[in-house]
Amino acid sequence: MKLVRALQSQGFGSRKACTARVRAGEVAVNGTLCDDPEAEVDPAGLELTLDGVSWPYRAQAYVLMHKPVGYECSHHPSHHPSVFSLLPPLLLQRGVQCVGRLDQDTSGLLLFSDDGQFIHRMISPKKGVAKVYRARCAEEVTDAMLDALRSGVQLNDTPVPVAALACDRLDATTLQLTLAEGKYHQVKRMIGATGNRVIALHREAVGHFPLPADLPPGGWRWLEATDLNQLEQPWRSATS
């Protein structure tokens, strides 16, 4: 692959802009300065350095974010800033999209990618990738409420009741809910159908991949091969 093409594919700008940066001596390939935009580079293990920052070559972008409350999962947000404003321009240039959406007032694990097939596998109800939420409720979490969520509650846009894969009380007003789908406002609507109300919602995990404890709200990082593997593991509850 030509160096200029490799740079473009990683989101460093147009062919013209990448050519100019290489010619200006701003780009190192595997630690060695290279001023020939047409130089052949091997994508395997390729490390590009620009402005003193190293960027390992990635054929596709897979990223996770600790979404803070107060951000919308949209390129054209209506009332709050966009989660995309928390990502570097390089990822936006690559065209990463949210993998499913979290509401403006929901925090937690949010994935992004430019791999359409990966996005489909993560959000398709047929694939059943579990999403684990922690919900704080306005009223006490009762046994009847837990039973209803486990056996299925009726939502207005589903022909049959929708059940949680797992549902556990964490304290008097907080529960952990695991869902196989990601319907619009699903957690809030399911809890609403039991007569209670969500006052704070946080996504703790997707599949068996938890939000890293050391990632602060608004922070992001790349997903590595082992992370992707963990994300795609079929769902098994802790008791099965």
Active site residues: 103
Cβ-contact 54, 10 below 8 angstroms = no
Q: Where are the alpha helices (DSSP H) in 45-104?
A: 89-93
- When the beta carbons of 103 and 204 are compared against ligand URA, the nearer one is 103
Q: Is the dihedral of CA 102, 103, 107, 112 positive or negative?
A: positive
3-state helix vs strand vs coil in the chain, percent to 5 = 25, 30, 50
C-alpha to C-alpha distance for 158 and 179, rounded to whole angstroms? 15
- When the beta carbons of 3 and 73 are compared against ligand URA, the nearer one is 73
Minimum CB separation of residue 13 from ligand URA in Å reads 34
Minimum CB separation of residue 47 from ligand URA in Å reads 37
- When the beta carbons of 48 and 73 are compared against ligand URA, the nearer one is 73
- State both tokens at 190: 């399911």
Minimum CB separation of residue 114 from ligand URA in Å reads 22
**Residue-by-residue DSSP string for 129-157:** --EEEEEEESS---HHHHHHHHH-B--TT
Cβ-contact 202, 137 below 8 angstroms = no
C-alpha to C-alpha distance for 211 and 209, rounded to whole angstroms? 7
Site residues for ligand URA per CB under 6 A = 102-103, 106, 185-188, 201
- When the beta carbons of 61 and 177 are compared against ligand URA, the nearer one is 177
Minimum CB separation of residue 232 from ligand URA in Å reads 20
